[in-house]
């Protein structure tokens, strides 16, 4: 449901101008920023959430202000600044703080995902229709439904790729004068299905297991692990992450096949 709501908001907003797109993308960033530190058991969840949300917003503003394609020039610089921030934030905990390397790694990973959301704003600025955006979001939603099935990953992952491919092709076929074409839409859907399956697999393992788990270390029972996986914040992170990362795929393929 998290993915459905966020993806629907992003998809609809692309037909109403930059203001709605910015608001929808900011909601994705906010959902991810709140959930990520709690998914990774950050010892400073509030500060980390503020950091991820702030950098995500700055990334979107930078994409909007860059006058020419590909609009993403400032994102590597922001990533470097965020990396320094993460080091300083963890140094402030003291030299004897536990799990410092894992915490920095998790925070930097979250930073990259948060900044990736800005690619949806870049996709809005690419000349042409919005077919790539709609196809991409439909593929993400369908693939996420596939990964939510109560089956082992060896079944749900191929299903996510397949349903993403079919969903992308079907959505592309609805655009009679679209810019992508059915084959390109199917390729986009398959890539996003693979992305969703990979992210769900990796983050699902974090949610269910002891990963830098400062809190789970106090009680290592299976019930505690399941309680963590059920927490709303964890589901926000797992639902928002593939949408944030999917924007990069959509933007790149739109640049290659739509606006050359």
Q: Tell me the two tokens of residue 115.
A: 């900044």
Q: Which residue has the tokens 């399941």?
A: 226
Please report the pLDDT score of residue 219 as a whole number.
Answer: 46
Q: What is the pLDDT of residue 164?
A: 94
Q: What is the CA radius of gyration of the chain?
A: 18
CB 92, CB 48: distance < 8 Å: no
Measure CA 230 to chain center: 19
Q: What is the pLDDT of residue 172?
A: 87
Distances in Å between the alpha carbon of 125 and those of 36, 70, 81, 91, 184?
Answer: 28, 9, 25, 39, 20
User: Looking at residue 115, what is its pLDDT?
Assistant: 96
Residue with the two structure tokens 């917003």: 57
pTM for the complete prediction? 0.85
- Per-residue confidence (pLDDT) for residue 211, from 0 to 100: 40
Instruction: Give me 237's structure tokens.
Output: 């992170």
SS3 175: coil
pLDDT tens for the chain, 260 residues long, are: 677 788 888 878 877 777 888 899 999 999 999 999 988 888 888 999 999 999 999 999 999 998 887 788 899 999 999 999 998 888 887 756 677 788 888 899 999 999 999 999 888 887 766 788 889 999 999 998 898 888 888 899 999 999 999 999 998 888 766 677 888 899 999 999 999 999 988 887 776 654 434 444 444 555 665 565 557 888 889 889 999 999 999 888 887 776 55
CA distance 180 to 32: 29
Using CA atoms of 78, 84, 86, 81 in order, give the dihedral in degrees to the nearest 10. -10
Contact predicate 241/35, CB 8 Å: no
């Amino acid at each position: 449901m998290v993915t459905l709501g966020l993806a629907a908001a992003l998809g609809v907003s692309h037909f109403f101008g930059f203001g709605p797109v910015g608001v929808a993308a900011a909601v994705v960033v906010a959902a991810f920023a709140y959930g990520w530190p709690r998914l990774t058991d950050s010892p400073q969840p509030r500060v980390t959430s503020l950091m991820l949300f702030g950098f995500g917003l700055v990334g979107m503003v930078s994409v909007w202000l860059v006058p020419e394609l590909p609009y993403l020039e400032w994102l590597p610089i922001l990533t470097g600044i965020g990396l320094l921030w993460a080091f300083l934030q963890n140094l402030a905990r003291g030299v004897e703080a536990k799990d410092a390397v894992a915490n920095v790694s998790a925070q930097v990973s979250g930073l990259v995902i948060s900044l990736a959301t800005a690619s949806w704003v870049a996709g809005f600025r690419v000349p042409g229709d919005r077919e790539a955006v709609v196809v991409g979001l439909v593929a993400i939603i369908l693939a996420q439904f596939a990964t939510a099935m109560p089956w082992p990953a060896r079944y749900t992952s191929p299903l996510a790729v397949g349903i993403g491919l079919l969903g992308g092709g079907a959505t592309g076929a609805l655009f009679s004068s679209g810019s992508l074409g059915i084959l390109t839409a199917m390729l986009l859907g398959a890539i996003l299905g693979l992305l969703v399956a990979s992210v769900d697999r990796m983050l699902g393992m974090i949610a269910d297991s002891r990963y830098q788990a400062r809190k789970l270390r106090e009680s290592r029972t299976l019930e505690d692990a399941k309680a963590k996986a059920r927490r709303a914040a964890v589901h926000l992170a797992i639902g928002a992450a593939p949408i944030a990362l999917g924007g990069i795929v959509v933007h790149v393929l739109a640049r290659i096949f739509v606006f050359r």
